[in-house]
A and B are shown apart, each in its own frame.
Chain A
Amino acid sequence: MNPPDAALATTSAAPAIAVDGLTKRFGAFTALDGVSFAAGQGEIMGFLGPNGAGKSTLIRILCGLLHPSAGQARVAGIDVARQPEAVRARIGYMSQKFSLYGDLSVVENLRFFAGIYSVPRAEMAGRIAYAVAMAGLGGQENTLVANLAGGWKQRLALGAAILHRPPVLFLDEPTSGVDPESRRRFWELIHTLSGDGVTVLVSTHYMDEAEYCHRIALIARGRLIALGTPLEIKRHSLDGELLALACADLGRALPLVQGAAGVRDAALFGSRIHVTVDEAARRGPELEALLAARGIAGATARPIAPTMEDSFVSLVGKAALNAATSANAAGARP
């Protein structure tokens, strides 16, 4: 991959994306509430959050598709609300819906988007060939896009979004509904782009994908509830240590565990209960004994390392508590 156009690149001093107090209201509903963060050049920043969290709203504001109700956003050093056109020349965007033309072929789609991005005629063929190769669609140039499988469609959409070599890329759930192998290949592409200096902001609700990001931002109900590297998030999100508890009657066990001494939090995770405790080595045997005493058979607790999902559940729970006291989302920054 060629590096992004030097003329369009951000100066290394300014962050590629700088968001400050961004708020978006739809009527009385607040979809995005005072979100602030910054992303540096070449950084892969993941936005993780449940459905309706506000991920797409945030990305659309950064693309100049929605006007913020309050706050400021600068992309490639340019104020999005004031100069949306200048921003558009410097960004690539893959919307959550697949948005290439199904009734056009692979090259026809690429030619169209290269054309409206005013890619110089001399470079057109080369860049289209690159996008075709990147998507792994060599030999399928004349296939109608509607007939491509999901993973290829998404890689082609990514190829179309970088035809004009934008220094900043917004990908809104690019891997949803795509098989794991295609997801892995897609993330390899993202890392290649990042290696070339492209800043990538990608939203997802696959927890495992968060681990592929340099930094992740957890977002729930329009608020940024945590921001940091995957390791930082996992380390700091839990105040205590984590136990995985297996036993017979999970439904009856859960309230017992929640009320036990030294337990800060407990939640069902599949066929286990994940329990946050002050001291795993001591509370594990205590919980096993407690459940055995109450007639719940086969209770075994063992210490585990928290996953992103554990952190997420814990942080969302805390944020919901704090929402009552209206703690600022920025306070959750590590």
Chain B
Amino acid sequence: MLGRILHLLIKEFLQLRRDKSARFRLLIPPIVQMVLFGYAATFEVFNVSTVILDQDRSQESRALEDAFLRSSRFALAAPARRVADVRDAVEASDAQLGIVIPAGFAELLRKGQTAPLQVLVDGTNSNSALIALGYVGQIAGDFGQTYAQNLAERTGRLQGKPIVSVEVAERYWYNPNLNSRWFFVPGVIGTLTLITIVNLTAFAIVREREVGTLEQILVTPIRPFEFIIGKTLPFFLIGLLEVSIVAGVGMAWFRVPFRGNPLVLLLGTCLFLFATLAIGLLISTICRTQQQAFSSNFFVLNPMFILSGFSFPIASMPPVLQWLTYVDPLRYYLVIIRATFLKGVGLEALWPQMLALAAIAAVLLAAAVLRFRKSLD
């Protein structure tokens, strides 16, 4: 049994070694995409749905509110009378951002002290909310600086420096600089791995089916699970290599910190790779030609990408789609990879994601082994 798997492995690596373009295909596109994605990640956003509650009702507070709205970064989503209204709006995802100007705001400024501004952010992994949060800080900072200058000119005294501080109530404490690249780069690792591994696995088997070598293998006494292990182990190793390389580029190039335990990330990556290998296998059991595999991959990978929460916040999806995200392995892997990179948390926090990934991988692998029949009909 081990002998058969070993011979299949030798064959796969010999073919891979001989396929010069494969080495290029495996390494260069992910790195290029990583860099492109990394730079494209500094999106600009406009009209972020926002709720503003002015509890101070002063001239200053109205001026600040005006500055927010004039920037065209924010669009008023709903009126708010109480802090609870703001909280509700953000929690229900009616607004991505809630800004509360507390009572006493103007008084503090006039005294030349720091005036707090409370901000609530949609607590999901939404990139646009993060960027919008950056704008809040920027606009509030500008406002504070202008105000300080005016104050100095009017009163002639320079004691104290009034500034507007932004307090984020629900805060992305693991990315305090609101560096959206940090947020994006780990996501790109997961997404690229998914695409590469599903494609490699599906095509590797479908190609053998198309060329006719699969038929020759099917008449040998090899067992389905031996074939599957021999055929997927190389891609598993390639997947690990690819995650390391892409993560290395992200850390070296974009200076994304790695705060967590590499072993936790390794565990999550292994589970995620099992799930993606199984998806590739399932596609390969359904498709007869590489053309079919190509379109199937497209139809499987795109929804997985969209449902993962990578670029669209899960909380603002319709409930049906939200349910679907629970079967998307990328959803869990993104959490694991971001948490290990940025938060530095370990298994104590990530075990639900690990369990979910393990369950999905187990079900998909079982389905792939069962579906892989040693027959042509």
Contact = CB atoms under 8 A, between A and B. Distances in A.
Contact-residue size bin, chain B (C-beta under 8 Å from the other chain): 20 to 34
B370 interface: no
B215 A65 contact: yes
A52 B352 CA distance: 56
A115 B222 CA distance: 10
A111 B7 contact: yes
Interface residues of A, number: 29
A100 B375 CA distance: 19
A67 to B, nearest CB: 6
19 contacts: A64-B374, A65-B215, A67-B377, A84-B375, A88-B219, A88-B220, A89-B221, A95-B212, A98-B212, A99-B211, A99-B216, A100-B213, A103-B15, A104-B15, A108-B11, A115-B7, A116-B220, A118-B4, A118-B221
B3 A118 contact: yes
Given A66-B377, A104-B11, A112-B7, A88 B221 contact: yes
Contacts of B14: 104, 108
Contact of A65 (B4, B6, B376): B376
A24 B327 CA distance: 40
A89 B7 CA distance: 17
B178 interface: no
Q: 3 closest pairs, A vs B, by CB? A: A115-B7, A97-B212, A99-B216
A85 interface: yes
Contacts of B6: 115
A101 interface: yes
Interface of B: 3-4, 6-8, 10-11, 14-15, 18-19, 211-213, 215-222, 374-377
Given A65-B218, A91-B219, A115-B7, A103 B376 contact: no
A304 B311 CA distance: 81
B17 to A, nearest CB: 10
A67 B375 contact: yes
Interface string A110-121: 011101111000
A88 B375 CA distance: 12
Interface string A80-102: 00001100110101010111110
Task: Name the residue among A99, A100, A113 with the largest chain B CB count within 10 angstroms.
Answer: A99
Contacts of B213: 99-101
Contacts of B15: 101, 103-104
Nearest to A119: B3
Contact of B375 (A66, A89, A95, A97): A66
A114 to B, nearest CB: 8
B20 to A, nearest CB: 11
Contacts of B11: 101, 104, 108, 112
A116 B217 CA distance: 8
A115 B217 CA distance: 11
Nearest to A109: B11
Contacts of A117: 220-221
